[in-house]
Amino acid sequence: MQVQLIRRKKNLIVRLKGELDHHTADIFRHSVEKELKKKGNQNLIINVTGLTFMDSSGIGVILGRYKQVKDKGGQVAICGLDKHHQRILQLGGLLNIIPVFGNESQALINLK
Amino acid sequence: MKEYKLENSANYMLLEIPAQSENESFVRVVVAAFAARLDPTLEEINELKTAVSEAVTNGILHAYDYGKGVIRIFVSVDNQHLSVEVHDFGKGIADIARAREPLYTEKPELERSGMGFTIMENFMDDLLVESKPGQGTVVKMLKIFGKTAEINH
Ligand SMILES: Nc1ncnc2c1ncn2[C@@H]1O[C@H](COP(=O)(O)OP(=O)(O)OP(=O)(O)O)[C@@H](O)[C@H]1O
Ligand SMILES: [Mg+2]
């Protein structure tokens, strides 16, 4: 899996590409964790458009980042979800707490 | 727990891997390739791959607690029915009912969500878990392909 990080003022955009599973979840976790520690109050936008696979490891690692961002008063958004990945995150209860947008710019407009 | 009932299967494959996370992706792809003969929809393949990933990951993550071990995957096909068995020979599950509950996980510190079994149940047509503490676990899953096509017909 490839992880691309982009800064837009107080928002951190993370673009995931490839397969998100138990083997690769740590790549996502560590790169985002490190970047979030650099500054205080900020939002996280997770773009999953490029994901070709996800299992329950995705639920755990996204929830972990949600808690991390929330603790510092930031917001989290997801964009680019396809139907299958949406079902997985829905089962994990994530879609009740994290808003979903079609693309990055819609997420950026809606986050404070 | 090592009986695969080969004589009853029209066609089958057997795969063994060491319990290492880098093999998870490989197993998913192999099982999906085996299922290709059933002319699956993209949705069916996605569901199968995710469910297989859950079962194999559990074997790697929970059965051996990072020690050495193997995972054996047995897949058989009979008409439109695909059966997948994931065997490990690790510590086993003492309380299967509790393990299958949504959100139950023994490893929250590793950011596991406790949704593996729930996903297997949702994405497959049947799920059976057999386990003996100290001996290992077998997860048996059944998927019936072409259900929506039949209904539309
Ligand atoms: N093969 C196994 N060997 C031993 N224990 C297992 C095995 N599979 C599952 N378990 C136990 O069942 C629990 C629930 O499994 P499940 O897959 O639902 O959640 P998880 O693996 O903890 O988290 P997630 O799958 O969401 O990452 C595990 O936490 C573990 O205690
Ligand atoms: Mg699991």
- Which domains does chain B carry? 11-152 (3.30.565.10)
Longest Cα–Cα distance of chain A, Å, equals 34
pLDDT digits (tens, 9 = 90+) for B47-102: 999 999 999 999 999 999 877 999 999 999 999 999 999 999 999 999 999 999 99
On the question of pLDDT at B153 being above 60, the answer is: no
Query: How many CB atoms within 10 Å of residue A102?
Result: 11
Q: What is the mean pLDDT of residues A63-76?
A: 95
- pLDDT for res A108: 96
What pLDDT score does B3 carry? 54
Q: Does B122 touch chain A (CB under 8 A)?
A: yes
What is the SS3 assignment for A63?
Answer: helix
What was the pLDDT predicted at B120?
A: 98
Chain-chain contact of B57 with A21 (C-beta, under 8 angstroms): yes
Average pLDDT estimate for A77-98: 97
Q: What is the pLDDT of residues B8-59, one digit of tens each?
A: 668 999 999 999 999 999 999 999 999 999 999 999 999 999 999 999 999 9
Domains and CATH numbers, chain A: 2-110 (3.30.750.24)
Using a CB-CB cut-off of 8 Å, the residues of chain B touching A53 are: 25, 28, 49-50, 53
Q: Is the CB of B96 under 6 A from ligand 1?
A: no
pLDDT at B6: 61
CA atoms of A66 and B9, how far apart (whole Å): 46
Q: How confident is the model at residue B2 (pLDDT cuts 50, 70, 90)?
A: very low
Separation of CA A55 and ligand 2 centre (Å): 9
Which residue shows structure tokens 């994290």?
A98
Tell me, what's the pLDDT at A80?
A: 97
Query: How far apart (Å, rounded) are the C-alpha atoms in residues B139 and B131?
Result: 9
Residue with the bigger pLDDT between B145 and B149: it is B145
Query: For residue A45, what are the CA distances in angstroms to A60, A62, B113?
Result: 16, 11, 21
Whether A53 shows a pLDDT value over 60: the answer reads yes
- Among A37-41, A57-61, B78-82, which range has the highest average pLDDT? A57-61
Contact A3, A36 (CB under 8 A): no
pLDDT of amino acid A95: 97
CA of B117 to the centre of ligand 2 (A): 7
What part of B 62-101 touches A (C-beta under 8 Å)? Answer: none
pTM of the shown model? 0.95
Q: Tell whether the model's pLDDT for residue B1 goes beyond 50.
A: no
- Residue B125 to residues A2, A62, A87, B84, B128, Cα–Cα distance (Å): 33, 27, 16, 11, 10
